[in-house]
Amino acid sequence: MAPLDGNAIGGPLLELSGREMTAADGPCGQCGPVFQLAELRGYASAPGAVGRCRSRRAVVLALTSIRGQSRVRFRQFRLLDNPGAGSS
Protein backbone atom coordinates (compact mmCIF):
# COMPACT_ATOMS: atom_id res chain seq x y z
CA MET A 1 0.00 0.00 0.00
CA ALA A 2 1.51 3.28 -1.06
CA PRO A 3 1.55 6.02 1.53
CA LEU A 4 -0.72 8.95 0.98
CA ASP A 5 0.76 12.35 0.64
CA GLY A 6 0.56 14.50 3.74
CA ASN A 7 -1.59 16.86 1.75
CA ALA A 8 -4.27 14.21 1.67
CA ILE A 9 -4.65 14.93 5.35
CA GLY A 10 -4.84 18.66 4.67
CA GLY A 11 -8.34 18.52 3.21
CA PRO A 12 -10.05 17.21 6.32
CA LEU A 13 -7.90 19.44 8.52
CA LEU A 14 -8.95 22.45 6.52
CA GLU A 15 -12.54 21.37 6.83
CA LEU A 16 -12.23 21.03 10.58
CA SER A 17 -10.16 24.03 11.44
CA GLY A 18 -11.20 26.43 8.73
CA ARG A 19 -7.64 27.10 7.73
CA GLU A 20 -4.87 25.59 5.74
CA MET A 21 -3.01 23.28 8.05
CA THR A 22 -0.49 21.47 5.91
CA ALA A 23 2.09 24.20 6.49
CA ALA A 24 1.54 24.09 10.24
CA ASP A 25 4.44 22.54 12.03
CA GLY A 26 5.38 21.11 15.36
CA PRO A 27 7.76 18.74 17.03
CA CYS A 28 7.29 15.01 17.01
CA GLY A 29 6.80 13.86 20.57
CA GLN A 30 8.64 10.67 19.91
CA CYS A 31 11.74 11.56 17.94
CA GLY A 32 11.90 15.33 18.32
CA PRO A 33 12.33 17.03 14.96
CA VAL A 34 9.91 19.71 13.91
CA PHE A 35 8.10 18.91 10.72
CA GLN A 36 5.16 20.17 8.75
CA LEU A 37 1.91 18.30 8.56
CA ALA A 38 2.41 18.09 4.80
CA GLU A 39 5.50 16.02 5.46
CA LEU A 40 3.62 13.31 7.24
CA ARG A 41 3.22 9.95 5.70
CA GLY A 42 -0.44 9.20 5.55
CA TYR A 43 -1.85 5.72 5.54
CA ALA A 44 -5.40 4.70 4.99
CA SER A 45 -6.74 3.06 8.10
CA ALA A 46 -10.41 2.34 8.62
CA PRO A 47 -12.38 4.35 9.43
CA GLY A 48 -10.05 7.09 8.25
CA ALA A 49 -6.34 7.55 8.02
CA VAL A 50 -3.31 7.95 10.20
CA GLY A 51 -0.39 10.31 9.76
CA ARG A 52 2.99 8.95 10.61
CA CYS A 53 6.17 10.80 11.36
CA ARG A 54 8.79 10.59 8.63
CA SER A 55 11.69 9.36 10.65
CA ARG A 56 10.31 6.81 13.02
CA ARG A 57 6.93 6.19 11.62
CA ALA A 58 5.30 6.99 14.89
CA VAL A 59 1.61 7.65 14.45
CA VAL A 60 1.28 11.32 15.28
CA LEU A 61 -2.24 11.93 14.14
CA ALA A 62 -5.33 9.91 13.54
CA LEU A 63 -8.01 11.01 11.18
CA THR A 64 -11.40 9.43 11.41
CA SER A 65 -14.48 9.93 9.36
CA ILE A 66 -17.61 8.57 10.92
CA ARG A 67 -21.00 9.20 9.45
CA GLY A 68 -19.59 11.96 7.33
CA GLN A 69 -18.01 13.72 10.27
CA SER A 70 -14.27 14.12 10.29
CA ARG A 71 -12.20 14.21 13.41
CA VAL A 72 -8.51 14.63 13.89
CA ARG A 73 -6.68 13.54 16.97
CA PHE A 74 -3.08 14.45 17.52
CA ARG A 75 -0.86 12.05 19.33
CA GLN A 76 2.68 12.85 20.32
CA PHE A 77 2.48 15.98 18.30
CA ARG A 78 1.85 19.56 19.23
CA LEU A 79 1.28 22.28 16.71
CA LEU A 80 3.53 25.30 17.05
CA ASP A 81 1.47 27.26 14.60
CA ASN A 82 -0.70 29.70 16.49
CA PRO A 83 -0.72 32.90 14.48
CA GLY A 84 -1.40 36.02 16.43
CA ALA A 85 -1.31 34.31 19.79
CA GLY A 86 2.03 35.73 20.77
CA SER A 87 2.21 33.95 24.09
CA SER A 88 3.40 30.54 25.04
Using CB under 5 A, list all residues that contact Zn ion: 28, 30-31, 53, 56, 58
8 A C-beta contact, residue 58 and residue 52:
yes
Query: Nearest approach, Cβ of 83 to Zn ion (angstroms)?
Result: 24
Query: Which residues are registered as beta bridge partners of 63?
Result: 49, 72
How many Cα atoms occupy the beta-carbon half-sphere of 52 within 13 Å?
Answer: 12
Residue 33 DSSP one-character state: -
Judged by CB, which is closer to Zn ion: 56, or 71? 56
Query: Nearest approach, Cβ of 19 to Zn ion (angstroms)?
Result: 24
Judged by CB, which is closer to Zn ion: 30, or 70? 30
